[in-house]
Amino acid sequence: MQITAEHFKENARDALDDAQLQRALSKVGDNFIGKRAKAVAALPEFEQLRAEARAIKDHTLDHLDLYLEAYEARVREQGGHVHFAETAADARKIVLDICRRVGARTATKGKSMISEEIGLNEHLAANGIAPIETDLGEYIIQLRGEVPSHIIAPAVHVNKDQVEADFRRVHTHLPPDRDLSEPVSLLAEARGVLRDRFLAADVGITGANFLVAETGTSIIVTNEGNGDLTQILPRVHIVVASLEKMVPTLDDASTILRLLARSATGQDMSVYTTLSTGPRRPEDPDGPEEYHVVILDNGRSAVLGTEYQAMLRCIRCGACMNHCPVYNAVGGHAYGATYPGPIGQALDPAIFGLEKTHELPNVSTFCGRCESVCPMMIPLPALMRHWRDKEFERALSPATQRFGIRVWAYVAKRPRLYRFATRIAMRALGNLGSAAGRFKSLPLAGGWTRHRDLPAPAGRTFMDLYKAGRGRA
Amino acid sequence: MSGRGTVLAKVRRALGASADDTVRKSAVAARLESPQPNTIPARGQLDREGRVALFRKMAEGVSATVEQISSDDVPSAVARYLRGHNLPLRLRTGADPAIAKLPWDREPHLERLEGASDGRDVVALNHAFAGVAETGTLVLLSGPDNPTTLNFLPETEIVMLSADDVAGDYEAVWRRIRERHGAGALPRTVNLVTGPSRSADIEQTLLLGAHGPRALHILVVG
């Protein structure tokens, strides 16, 4: 996709003015948040599982080279193929080469954010292979020529009447007078249209929620069953997965599975959790004849062993964005990079480079809800803060902003000067604003007062009040 | 250098792995050789009756339907379900001996076809390897006995599950699979199925019957 993260402010303004989008977003937050809270409350061991899950991933990441080798050996023993891709371009080439070798004309696809990250659909289409998204949400946005606006609910920004219009525009072989007024009729139509595509596809491409080293297994988690039809019907199954999907054992995968659906949709367990190991066996009556796993690095190994490593614990549940006030206000497209919301603000700079994405770590109120709900206990605000430091070091932010921060740092590092300066400023602002109790405009604070009033300070600083209050306790 | 060499070298360098890596290697080998369970929720730690009751409650909570019967009654329960739902008396199954040996002759009008599905079957019957009480989840293994296509292509899936095979948690099922298939080995596909197929991708309205079965009926036997 085109990275437009540097235009976040413009994107956000457009998003706030987009009535359709705001209508769709109004249904997001409460739904996900309420369901998650209910599911978590029903499992007393949830906090303990979180701590264990974090430990599992930390251990795996600390030994990632060895687990990758163990995993690869198991896949090979079962007759599968493992391909390592250093970059997005490498991964695209590996997938395209497989498709070409088997003479594929169409490829069905299960929902995969890695596929979005590497721009796989455009690449396949440009080379004469039709990619067919089969997750309902992904199918809708493919028809619309869009990218996902949420990592587990890709079409969350689209309203029902828009879906109806898209289906009427594309499914021209169906009677024009059919009733599509209800979601259930839209779902039935998509099921019918896609069923034929499933049965005709030459290659099926899925992502992976986990790669299990113990057994050489890839695991996908879906509710629709589309990922399964994608991988059991075509002759070739290709899994695209980033290297941090690794877990050591089935027991470890089970622990994290107990967190995944609860954090994502508030289900105890998603409908289909599917473990795939190698190609079909000689006695099997169904399943793919070839099984390939493409393991993608794309910037992740550079994060290992650094203060950013915790982002690789992410299991892509989407809880951080569901709980984010910024995401809920502007939706996923405004972020302008593959991964929206708080996890994207931590991850996108590592994948797409800070130069193109340095606005993202700043798009946060640091309210901390993302970290508090993250099943893998990823310190998202801290990761964003690290990126802000890097942004400053590399002089990526505007010169005036950096100058302001330098001035601030100079004053803040000198407590006497700081107290003196704030005492004068608070007194002046307190006097000036005492009548109205607020400022409608203020020099140098236009960015704030353009959108809301600035409450007038009380006239005394915290330190003054603290000193005065001493001895009273 | 190959993609493999490059990626693994980058990972090793980032982790500061030394050439003599015995400590890390033995940690990984130990973990893979004897997989240990982590915390297992107390919810499913019940006796046989308790597990079956919890399985039923959880499965019904995700819109599956559940019937408890004796094994000889499976053919008539299947026929009754099909008639009750106005479905054709035709059924696809795999070659599972536990299904083949059932008294199908008691339902002479019920036609049973064996083998994988090509997408034209309306109803399938599979035999689950296990159930998991914790979340009302079925565990189905691929192979000629219970082809994976039967779990996804037909609109209605009926699953036979022995009450003795209802475990409390997933970890107990992995132990059973390891005993049967050997350490580190799995059938090509292991399906954990928790209710019938669904989607909430249109305005977050939850609808059953996305791409997989619209209905899941579970016969708990024994």
| Residues B68-114 pLDDT 10s | 999 889 999 999 999 999 999 999 999 999 999 999 999 999 999 99
- With 70 as the cut, is the pLDDT of residue A471 above it? no
* Closest to A383 in 3D by CA, of A332, A445, A311: A311
Helices (H) and strands (E) in chain A, counts: 23, 12
Among A269, A280, A289, A293, the residue to mutate for chain B (most B Cβ within 10 A): A269
**Residue in B closest to A181 by C-alpha:** B202
- With 90 as the cut, is the pLDDT of residue A443 above it? no
State the virtual CA torsion across A369, A375, A376, A379 in degrees, nearest 10: 10
For residues B56 and B131, give the distance between their C-alpha atoms in angstroms, rounded to a whole number: 10
Q: Which two tokens stand for residue B17?
A: 């792995």
Mean pLDDT for chain A? 95
Among B12, B34, B38, the residue to mutate for chain A (most A Cβ within 10 A): B38
Residue B115 lies in a domain: yes
Min Cα distance B219 → chain A (Å) is 18
- With 60 as the cut, is the pLDDT of residue B194 above it? yes
pLDDT tens digit string along A55-68? 999 999 999 999 99
For residues A332 and A154, give the distance between their C-alpha atoms in angstroms, rounded to a whole number: 9
State the virtual CA torsion across A57, A63, A68, A74 in degrees, nearest 10: -90
Three-state DSSP state, A307:
coil
Per the CB < 8 Å rule, is B3 touching A86? yes
State the virtual CA torsion across A394, A313, A74, A249 in degrees, nearest 10: 160
For residues A461 and A420, give the distance between their C-alpha atoms in angstroms, rounded to a whole number: 10
At residue A459, the pLDDT reads 83
- With 60 as the cut, is the pLDDT of residue A260 above it? yes
**What CATH code is carried by the domain that includes residue B124?**
3.40.50.10420
At residue A92, the pLDDT reads 98
| pLDDT cut 90: percent of chain A above it | 86
For residues A250 and A65, give the distance between their C-alpha atoms in angstroms, rounded to a whole number: 19
Q: Which domains does chain A have, with CATH numbers?
A: 1-40+323-397 (no CATH), 43-296 (3.40.50.10420), 416-469 (no CATH)
Q: How far is CA A280 from the centre of its chain?
A: 32
| pLDDT cut 70: percent of chain A above it | 99
- In one-letter notation, the amino acid at residue A465 is L
The owner of tokens 């292509």 is B153
Mean pLDDT for chain B? 96
B22/B52 same-domain check: no
Q: Which two tokens stand for residue A31?
A: 């739904």
Residue among A69, A271, A302 minimizing CB distance to B197: A271
Q: What is the residue-wise DSSP string for chain B? A: --HHHHHHHHHHHHHT--SS-HHHHHHHHHHHHS-------GGG---HHHHHHHHHHHHHHTT-EEEEE-GGGHHHHHHHHHHHTT--SEEEE---HHHHTS-GGG-TT-EEEES---S--SEEEEE-SEEETTTTEEEEE-SSSS-GGGGTSSSEEEEEEEGGGEESSHHHHHHHHHHHH-TT---SEEEEE-SS-EE-TTTT--EE-SSS-SEEEEEEE-
Q: Which helix (H) or strand (E) holds A422?
A: helix A415-433
Three-state DSSP state, A182:
coil
Per the CB < 8 Å rule, is B11 touching A301? yes
- With 90 as the cut, is the pLDDT of residue A463 above it? no
Contacts of B94 in chain A (CB under 8 A): 285
At residue A435, the pLDDT reads 81
Per the CB < 8 Å rule, is A229 touching B16? no
B185/B215 same-domain check: yes
Three-state DSSP state, A458:
coil
Contact status, residue A276 vs residue A217, Cβ threshold 8 Å: yes
pLDDT tens digit string along A376-400? 999 999 999 999 999 999 999 889 8
pTM of the complete model: 0.95
B104/B150 same-domain check: yes
B10/B119 same-domain check: no
pLDDT tens digit string along A204-246? 999 999 999 999 999 999 999 999 999 999 999 999 999 999 9
B8/B50 same-domain check: no
For residues A367 and A380, give the distance between their C-alpha atoms in angstroms, rounded to a whole number: 11
Residue B113 lies in a domain: yes
* Torsion angles phi and psi, residue A209, rounded to 5: -85, -30
At residue B122, the pLDDT reads 97
Give the CA distances from residue A5 to residues A256, A316, A339, A414, B28, in Å, rounded to whole numbers and listed in that order. 31, 20, 11, 36, 39
B9/B73 same-domain check: no
B27/B61 same-domain check: no
Q: How far is CA A106 from the centre of its chain?
A: 27
Q: Would an 8 Å CB–CB cutoff place A163 in contact with chain B? A: yes
Beta strands at A203-206 and A81-85: parallel, antiparallel or unpaired:
unpaired
CB atoms within 10 A of CB A294: 27
Contact status, residue A135 vs residue A270, Cβ threshold 8 Å: no
Structural domain total, chain B: 2
- With 70 as the cut, is the pLDDT of residue A473 above it? no
**Structure letter (DSSP) for residue A213:** T
Among B10, B13, B132, B199, the residue to mutate for chain A (most A Cβ within 10 A): B199
B104/B13 same-domain check: no
Residue among A63, A268, A286 minimizing CB distance to B27: A63
- With 90 as the cut, is the pLDDT of residue A432 above it? no
For residues A344 and A311, give the distance between their C-alpha atoms in angstroms, rounded to a whole number: 10
- In one-letter notation, the amino acid at residue A302 is A
Per the CB < 8 Å rule, is B187 touching A90? no
**Residue in B closest to A43 by C-alpha:** B41
* Class of residue B26 by CB neighbours under 10 A (exposed 0-12, middle 13-18, buried 19+): exposed
Residue B39 lies in a domain: no
B217/B155 same-domain check: yes
B29/B127 same-domain check: no
Residue B206 lies in domain? 45-221
CB atoms within 10 A of CB A270: 26
Q: Which helix (H) or strand (E) holds A83?
A: strand A81-85
Per the CB < 8 Å rule, is A251 touching B119? no
Contacts of A248 in chain B (CB under 8 A): 28, 31-32, 35
At residue A434, the pLDDT reads 79
Residue A452 pLDDT level (bands cut at 50, 70, 90): confident
B57/B3 same-domain check: no
For residues A58 and A316, give the distance between their C-alpha atoms in angstroms, rounded to a whole number: 16
* Closest to A154 in 3D by CA, of A135, A128, A132, A131: A135
Residue B181 lies in a domain: yes
Q: Which residues contact B185 (CB under 8 A, 6 or more apart)?
A: A215, A277, B178
For residues A231 and A246, give the distance between their C-alpha atoms in angstroms, rounded to a whole number: 20
The owner of tokens 């604070």 is A445
Contact status, residue A291 vs residue A279, Cβ threshold 8 Å: yes
- With 60 as the cut, is the pLDDT of residue A47 above it? yes
Return the bridge partners of A292, or none. A81, A238
pLDDT tens digit string along A296-352? 999 999 999 999 999 999 999 999 999 999 999 999 999 999 999 999 999 999 999
Per the CB < 8 Å rule, is A195 touching B193? no
Distance in Å from the first CA to the final CA of chain A: 60
B85/B179 same-domain check: yes
Residue B128 lies in a domain: yes
pLDDT tens digit string along B9-58? 999 999 999 878 999 999 999 999 999 999 999 999 999 999 999 999 99
Residue B40 lies in a domain: no
Q: Which residues contact A416 (CB under 8 A, 6 or more apart)?
A: none
